[in-house]
Structure 1
Amino acid sequence: ETIADVRNLISTTVPPPPEFSIHRNFKNLNHEICGTRKEQKAKEIPNIDSRIFGGERAGILEFPWMAMLFYRTLNTGQLVFRCGGSVISQKFVLTAAHCVSHLSS
């Protein structure tokens, strides 16, 4: 086979995006605000170190589909930032397993 033969086998057509409205949990989303950025920025939370080189801090409510996950320490009751997550419905936040695996039930 030649390179031309291989190129003829490769499709450059981009498939359409999946239809999300047929998903069983689609009705749980608030379609008026989900995925919409709030124009007015609230104050930033202090003491959160930047972990992205050259990045910028996001204001509270700037990305309303994102969540900050905190845990409360047993000895002092202080809230400590642990991870981020994505709001996937009015009841649930999706996060990585390592964000909660150390916590007791």
Structure 2
Amino acid sequence: NPNHCAKMAGVRAAAKFGSHLKELRLHLCQKSAESAGVREFVMKHYRSVKNSNPNLPILIRECSGVQPKIYARYEFGKESHASLSGLSADQVMTTIQQMAQKTA
């Protein structure tokens, strides 16, 4: 499927984040349906994102019953967050990319 290949190439190409982003934290539940896409993201994309951003702390926090969210910390202590509830792994990646482009 050519669209799938193009989409995956885009994910890989966009996985390098700017230096203004200081930390990413993913909060997810080990079992809930709402966190399924976040768990899949960790399995499918975490390694490539980490390899592209070796100096960026990417923290994975599992907690039973927690709503899946991403927290981004930027320069000067600014933070933002977004819900990841019910998203697919690719939608989680898109959300991370959007947050990485922000400056808080």
For the aligned pair, the TM-score class normalised by the smaller chain equals under 0.3
- In terms of fraction of residues, the more helix-rich structure is 2
Q: TM-score, normalised by structure 2?
A: 0.26
Q: TM-score, normalised by structure 1?
A: 0.26
- In terms of fraction of residues, the more strand-rich structure is 2
